[in-house]
């Protein structure tokens, strides 16, 4: 019987279906099992939170697949996995709708100053200073999308439905194929709102820092639902405090790469208490519907590999490996 290790909570329906594929051991909850306890027997890892390192993979002789619950795979060493004959898969597009809606949840909250309005009413202050709660409308403003893949390109029609003008930049797309394509610097200097939709790679680490904030329009806003390391967070705090940016919304922090449970213990000072910054706990993809779609995609990848077949969404190409 195959042994499947689940690192973090997933949809209950998916958890029950995993049991049809083999023995399921959980890395969370009251009966949590540490990876080191099962590494010699584990055949598949259902990876949501946490990290799977090269050392963990090397110590797992029976491991066949690490199935990522989500599109990003920066929390698994997929190159080392390939060397050890282990598939790494992801679930592109499965949480797309959820993330798109979260982009606008953050943006609308900033534009209408919802955190301040909510705080005041919780303190039994109704609207003594209405000017402090005056918002702005999206119609007529320019949204600049950095990255135009599955999610970025799907954000565009929603923004256009709000009456926004959309521009984007993406080195993987031919500039002549879409008249909304602009170069990076033009996007920064033109957009009223910059929204990030890129993976965390060495080429995108700190993609938005002090020089980029300086190029942005005074009073612009930044939305980041991609990965925390794409933004220099100290530069972000500085831009917000100086008034260069009117606001920012972040669903991700760079410190998640250190500690996904308590990232604020390692985060940039003031990241959690800058008034015009909304931070959510990496929940853009967390809706009931999305968890089901993403979970099914990851489950199918595990089922496929355990049958000895090639999964639908591999992010690496492992060397052949024999399993006893």
**Catalytic-residue membership of 313:** no
Catalytic residue among 69, 212, 256, 293: 256
Handedness of CA 322, 45, 60, 29 (dihedral sign): negative
Catalytic residue among 68, 227, 293, 313: 227
**Catalytic-residue membership of 227:** yes
In the chain, % helix, strand, coil (3-state, to 5) comes to 35, 15, 45
Q: List the structure tokens of 158.
A: 């929603």
**Catalytic-residue membership of 130:** no
Q: List the structure tokens of 222.
A: 């930044």
- Helix axis angle, 114-122 to 96-111, nearest 10°: 70
Catalytic residue among 68, 282, 293, 313: 282
Handedness of CA 280, 282, 284, 287 (dihedral sign): negative
Angle at 26 between CA 22 and CA 28, to 5 degrees: 165
| Kind and range of the H or E run holding 110 | helix 96-111
Residue of 22, 26, 28, 58 lying closest to 43 (CA atoms): 22
Edge-to-edge order in the sheet of strand 3-6? 23-26, 3-6, 44-47, 65-68, 87-89
In this structure, what are the phi and psi dihedrals at residue 316, rounded to the nearest 5 degrees?
Answer: -145, 175
How many CB atoms are closer than 10 A to CB 4? Answer: 25
Three-state secondary structure call for residue 250: strand
Three-state secondary structure call for residue 306: helix
Active site residues: 227, 256, 282
């Amino acid at each position: 019987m195959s042994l499947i290790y689940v690192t973090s909570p997933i949809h209950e329906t998916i958890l029950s279906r995993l049991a049809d594929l083999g023995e399921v051991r959980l890395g969370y909850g009251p009966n949590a099992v540490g990876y080191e306890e099962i590494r010699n027997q584990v055949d598949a890892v259902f990876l949501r939170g946490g990290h799977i390192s090269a050392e963990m993979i090397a110590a797992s002789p029976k491991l066949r697949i690490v199935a990522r619950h989500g599109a990003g795979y920066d929390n698994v060493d997929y190159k080392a996995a390939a060397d050890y004959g282990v598939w790494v898969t992801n679930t592109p597009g499965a949480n797309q709708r959820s993330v798109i809606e979260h982009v606008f949840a953050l943006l609308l909250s900033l534009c209408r100053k919802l955190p301040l309005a909510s705080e005041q009413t919780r303190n039994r202050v109704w609207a003594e200073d209405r000017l402090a709660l005056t918002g702005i409308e999206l119609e007529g403003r320019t949204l600049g999308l950095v990255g135009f893949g599955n999610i970025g390109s799907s954000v565009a029609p929603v923004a256009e439905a709000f009456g926004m003008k959309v521009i984007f930049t993406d080195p993987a797309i031919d500039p002549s194929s879409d008249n909304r394509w602009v170069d990076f610097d033009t996007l920064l200097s033109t957009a009223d709102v910059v929204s990030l939709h890129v993976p965390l790679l060495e080429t995108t680490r700190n993609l938005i820092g002090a020089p980029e904030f300086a190029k942005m329009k005074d009073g612009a806003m930044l939305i980041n639902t991609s990965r925390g390391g794409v933004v220099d967070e100290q530069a972000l705090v500085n831009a917000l405090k100086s008034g260069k940016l009117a606001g920012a919304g972040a669903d991700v922090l760079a410190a998640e790469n250190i500690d996904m449970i308590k990232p604020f213990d390692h985060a940039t000072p003031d990241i959690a208490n800058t008034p015009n910054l909304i931070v959510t706990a990496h929940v853009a993809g967390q809706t009931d519907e999305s968890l089901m779609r993403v979970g099914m995609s990851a489950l199918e990848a595990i089922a496929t590999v355990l049958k000895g077949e090639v999964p639908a969404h591999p992010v690496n190409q492992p060397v052949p490996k024999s399993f006893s």
